[in-house]
Structure 1
Amino acid sequence: MATDTPLADPAELATWLRVPADDPLLLSTLRSASRRFRGAVRHEVNLVEDDVITLDGNGRESLLLPVWPTVEVTAVLLDNEALVEGTDYSWSEAGILRRLGCQVWPNRLRCIKVTYSHGWAEIPTDISDAVIEQARAAFRSEPGVKSKAVGGQSVTFETGVTSQWSEAVQRHQVQTGSDA
């Protein structure tokens, strides 16, 4: 992903961990949890302006833009011809791009080019909470290790994520398919 900006406030994580907000390990852990979240949802999360994507047509009236919320659609090209918003297409914050005037999108690959802005200027609470939760867990543990015993040489590895993390990832991940 293009940015390394944390998806949560370091000061909030610092309160949980009782360390200074500029602690290098705290900041590294928060950046790592943020990168992990971005990788899981397969997009930047923060506001991205004028992103240009090429989409496949689906033979239907509506298709989905891959990342929401959609903030603005500035251009739609169909076979390199500009369409007019309000006449040829409309769009919603949910990322639905709809043909107007009883038209459908052609059922062809790579025939639609869209320039749009998407993401959040202010990160939603469910994302920042999930990132903080993961950063808190990672801050005080060795990567992949949940517990260890010295005498009997027992090691247990940490696996999985919390339900809060899973729900936030599912809610914010890239939309797949061209069906709306």
Structure 2
Amino acid sequence: MAADELLADPAELAVKLGREADDPQLLWALKQASRRFRGQVHHPVTLVTDDEVTLDGNGRESLLLPVWPTIAVAQVLLDGVELTEGSDYSWSDAGILRRLGCHRWPDRLRCITVVYTHGWADTPEDIQEVILERAEAAFTIPVGVQSKAVGGQSVTFGAQMAAGSTEAWTKAVDRHKVRASGDA
């Protein structure tokens, strides 16, 4: 299993669960949580170099690139014509692509092509936290069980913990999901 498949460190989960970091069940739980998160945010989260996207113009001065942080912008084409950074456009690490010189992006579909590098070399802590939380739940909560009694002790799991949709999970997904280019 490639290390970049996991969005959290197996050693951290291993300490919490009292298992070895290479325990197949532990690794499976982390892999499933990582896949689920990536699926819900609609991008890899990790660093992606020279990703090419085609965007709709919004008729405004600025538009958002779909995934942040933006590390580099290698090329911007408007209707197939290459624009020059610094005179035609500028960009920010927040993923804002701004037209310069009193220009606006055209209000047309699929007229802008951008090649850019985005994502994180190191997974942000809020993502790591929810991946570890979800993996722990998958590892320890039996599927479909909300309440379990053994002897004189009982334990009840919240439906959101069993399903993996805690408030922290929802906030992390909302913060890191792909954005629509017209949002700027």
How far off its partner does 1:162 sit?
1.4
How far off its partner does 1:161 sit?
1.6
**Paired position in structure 2 for 1:170:** 174
Structure 1 residue 66 corresponds to structure 2 residue 66? yes
**Paired position in structure 2 for 1:77:** 77
**Paired position in structure 2 for 1:153:** none
How far off its partner does 1:128 sit?
0.3
1:85-104 → structure 2 map (5 Å cutoff): 85-104=85-104
1:1-180 → structure 2 map (5 Å cutoff): 5-147=5-147, 158-159=162-163, 161-180=165-184
Amino acid at match of 2:93: E
Amino acid at match of 2:117: S
How far off its partner does 1:29 sit?
0.4
How far off its partner does 1:143 sit?
2.9
How far off its partner does 1:160 sit?
5.3
**1:68 and 1:144, CA in 2 relative to 1: closer, same or farther beyond 3 A?**
farther
TM-score for both structures, normalised by structure 1: 0.90
Q: 1:45-76, CA deviations, whole angstroms, 9 ceiling, x for partnerless residues? A: 00000000000001110000000000100000
**1:144 and 1:66, CA in 2 relative to 1: closer, same or farther beyond 3 A?**
farther
C-alpha distance in structure 1 between counterparts of 2:144 and 2:47, whole Å? 32
For this pair of structures, how many residues does the alignment match? 174
**Paired position in structure 1 for 2:154:** none
TM-score for both structures, normalised by structure 2: 0.88
How far off its partner does 1:40 sit?
1.2
How far off its partner does 1:5 sit?
0.9
C-alpha distance in structure 2 between counterparts of 1:88 and 1:38, whole Å? 33
**1:91 and 1:144, CA in 2 relative to 1: closer, same or farther beyond 3 A?**
farther
How far off its partner does 1:142 sit?
2.7
Q: Identity across aligned pairs (percent)?
A: 62
> Structure 1 runs of 4+ off > 4 angstroms?
none
Amino acid at match of 2:134: Q
Which structure: greater helix fraction? 2
Mark the runs of 5 or more structure 1 residues left unpaired by the alignment: 151-155
Mark the runs of 5 or more structure 2 residues left unpaired by the alignment: 151-156
